[in-house]
Chains A and B, each alone.
Chain A
Amino acid sequence: MDELRNHVKELLANGTVAAVIGYKEAGSPMRTKPVIITAPEEAILLVFNEYCLNNLAVYLTKARVKNLARVNGTIKKLGIVAKPCDVHAVIALIQESQLKREDVYIISFNCNGVVKDYGETLTGETIASKCLHCDARQPLYHDKVFGELKDLPASPDEELAKIKSFDDMTSQERFEYFKNEFDKCIKCYACRAACPMCYCTQCITDKTIPRWVESSAHGRGNFSWNLIRAFHLSARCVGCGECERACPMDIPLSLINRKMLEVAKNDFAYLSGRNLETPTLVGSFDVKDKEEFIL
Chain B
Amino acid sequence: MEEKIINRENLNKLCRDIIDGGNILIAPGKTEYTVIKDTSEIILDAGSKPTKASYKNYAFPKAEPVIYYKKDKNDIELIDIDIKGKKTVILGAKPCDSNSFSILSKVFNWDYKDDFFNMRVKNFIVIGMMCEFADKYCFCTSVGLSPVSEKGSDIFLIPLDENNFAVRIITDKGKEFMESYGKYLTEGNPEKAKAKTEAVKSSAKMPEKVFNSEEVRKWLGKNFEHPFWDGIGDVCLSCAQCAFVCPVCHCFDIVDEDYSYEEGRRMKNWDGCQFGHFTLHASGHNPRDIQGKRYRQRINHKFKYYVDKFGEILCTGCGRCSRGCPVSIDIKEIVSDTVKQ
CB-CB contacts below 8 Å: B267-285 with A: 267, 269-270, 272, 275, 277
Query: For this complex, into which size category does the number of interface residues on chain B fall?
Result: 35 or more
Measured CB to CB, the closest approach of chain B to A49, in angstroms, equals 14
Q: A190-B239, A217-B269, A248-B52 are in contact. Are A33 and B244 (CB under 8 A)?
A: no
B76 proximal to A (CB < 8 A): no
| Known contacts A216-B267, A245-B326, A248-B241, A33 near B235 by CB under 8 Å | yes
| Chain A residues positioned under 8 Å from B239 (CB to CB) | 188-190, 192-194, 246
Report the Cα distance A250→B29, complex, angstroms.
Answer: 13
Kindly name the residue among B243, B267, B324, B326 whose own CB sees the greatest number of chain A CB atoms within 10 A. B326
User: Assuming A27-B136, A33-B327, is B291 touching A188 (CB within 8 A)?
Assistant: no
Is there a chain B Cβ closer than 8 Å to A229's Cβ? no
Return the contact of A215 from the options B52, B245, B253, B329 (Cβ within 8 A).
B253
Name the residue among B32, B240, B327 with the largest chain A CB count within 10 angstroms: B327
Q: A26-B330, A186-B53 are in contact. Are A217 and B270 (CB under 8 A)?
A: yes
What chain A residues lie within 8 Å of B243 (beta carbons)? 188
A165 on interface, CB distance cutoff 8 Å:
no
What residue of chain A has the Cβ atom nearest to residue B320's Cβ? Answer: A248
Measured CA separation A248–B243 after assembly (Å): 11
Report Cα–Cα, A223/B153, bound state, in Å.
36
Interface string of B215-251 (1 = CB under 8 A from A): 0000000000000000001110111110111000000
Give the residues in chain B near A50, CB-CB below 8 Å: none
- B199 within 8 A of partner (CB): no
Would you give the shortest CB distance from A179 to chain B, in whole angstroms? 16
**How far, in whole Å, are A216 and B31 apart by their CA atoms in the complex?**
23
Assuming the contacts A28-B136, A187-B269, A189-B239, asked whether A194 and B326 have C-beta atoms less than 8 A apart, the reply is yes
Bound: A192/B277 CA distance, A: 14
Within 98-148 of B, Cβ neighbours of A (below 8 Å) are at: 136
The contact of A216 among B53, B244, B255, by CB within 8 Å, is B255
CB 8 Å contact bits of A30-66 with B (1 = contact, 0 = none): 0111111000000000000000001000110000110
Question: Which residues from chain A sit less than 8 Å from chain B, CB to CB?
Answer: 26-28, 31-36, 54, 58-59, 64-65, 118, 186-190, 192-194, 206, 208, 211, 214-218, 221, 242, 245-246, 248-250
* 5 residue pairs A–B, Cβ–Cβ below 8 Å: A36-B234, A64-B233, A118-B328, A216-B63, A250-B31
Q: A59-B235, A190-B239 are in contact. List 20 more A-B contacts (CB 8 A).
A: A26-B330, A27-B330, A31-B328, A54-B326, A64-B291, A186-B244, A186-B270, A193-B239, A215-B253, A215-B255, A216-B255, A216-B257, A217-B62, A218-B267, A221-B63, A246-B239, A246-B241, A248-B245, A249-B53, A250-B52
